[in-house]
Amino acid sequence: MGGVTTIVRMFVVGIDPGLTRCGYCVVEAREGAQPRAVALGVMRTSPDDQVHHRLAELQSELRALLTEFPVTAMAVERVLFQVNVRTAMSVGQASGIAMVEAVNAGCEVVQYSPNEVKSAVAGWGNADKVQMQQMVQTLLGLAEPPHPFDAADAAALALCHIAMAPMRAAATRAVAKAGA
């Protein structure tokens, strides 16, 4: 008699936060199979609208995305530094909306720095935007590089989390065991 084989399947959404353009990518990861993008694109809001209306629109679109797919984790780009304060504020607001929606949907939320994403996906932290697009294309088996960069960055975030999740889980188990 053979045992039952369980195939682990998870959906991870990567979010490249922004108020005018918020990149997203839902990636399905299955044990032993190449990850595949099941949703990839950019949510846009009009700069002509008031900020609170734009945030509400972004929140609604993110909620719809998280309702459509059985996402277990959200990987969000960590805002480290922006020269333009206005841009930093809007990115931070969009990031906050995304993380709250993920928590409300029961998702794990993990933030990654741009260098962590580049290292996990391209193999080095100084990869440029075009190199990242090409790596995302290769890793997801896409016919062409994802456009615009916001969508490619979101896909890279999801791929980073898929690569890092086993190490994060092992570290969590080791800490729990040491504390027992």
Dihedral over Cα of 40, 38, 157, 92: its sign: positive
Backbone angles phi, psi at 124, to 5 degrees: -155, 145
Domains for the chain: give ranges and CATH numbers. Answer: 9-179 (3.30.420.10)
Question: Can you give the pTM of this predicted structure?
Answer: 0.88
Strand partners of residue 71: 11
Backbone angles phi, psi at 29, to 5 degrees: -120, 125
Residues with a known catalytic role: 16, 77, 150
- Name the more confident of 38 and 178: 38
- pLDDT tens column, 104-163: 999 999 999 999 999 999 999 999 999 999 999 999 999 999 999 999 999 999 999 999
Q: Per the omega criterion (within 30 degrees of 0), is the bond before 145 cis?
A: no
Strand partners of residue 24: 15, 41
Q: What was the pLDDT predicted at 8?
A: 65
The whole-angstrom separation of Cα 58 and Cα 24 is: 12
Asked whether the beta carbons of 27 and 11 are under 8 A apart, the reply is yes
In a 3-state reduction of DSSP, which class is residue 15?
strand
